[in-house]
Amino acid sequence: MSQPPLRAAIVPVTPLQQNCTLIWCTETMKAAVVDPGGDLPRIKAAIAKEGLTVEKILLTHGHIDHAGEAKPLSDDLGVPIEGPHEADRFWLSRLDEDGRNYGIRGVVFEPDRWLDDGDTVTVGNLTLDVYLTPGHTPGHVIFHHAPSNFAQVGDVLFQGSIGRTDFPLGSFDDLVRSVREKLWPLGDVAFVPGHGPASTFAHERRTNPFVGDAVLGK
């Protein structure tokens, strides 16, 4: 049986159990680390276990548990950071302060490339589409690989829940709009959220008590 073009492995990091994810191209074994919020030794061990060559770091948004150690990992591996959208500059500029508040390491940085709606990112021979999905944070983005029906959605959508919107610059209305207008039109996509177990958009449309069709209407 042939290998799927994309594979992913979840590495839970930080006391908040954030789903740092390795995404790689099975043809080239080149990879991206998505949301390395902390626990770099654990992330590096997972990279070595899979035999991957990391070529970039991708960020869905600027919260401490997703981006706190992106800069140290970037420096260690000599790879660029892509994402999130520039509207999350507020969050990236306070990673050190938030790190102290949460008791975890946070290093302030500016990514090598800000991302916007309609951009693409590459991982080996894979091309992923970028969608701007504000609400949890104003500059939140998701990454979608259409050929694999796979998405990395950060803290927009969880199994049975949605991302918090009570942090500074959060917006419940924006988050619901992001799910309805950006995620649902992609079809029945399997997704890795920022926390908790994976799910599919179809399952969440049927059952999610915050953004399911029964709540929002079709």
What pTM was computed for the model? 0.97
What mean pLDDT comes out for the span 133-157? 98
The predicted structure's pLDDT at residue 218 = 64
| 179-215 as b/e: b if 16+ CB within 10 A | beebbbebeebebbbbbeeebbbeebbeebebbbeee
Q: What is the pLDDT of residues 51-82, one digit of tens each?
A: 999 999 999 999 999 999 999 999 999 999 99
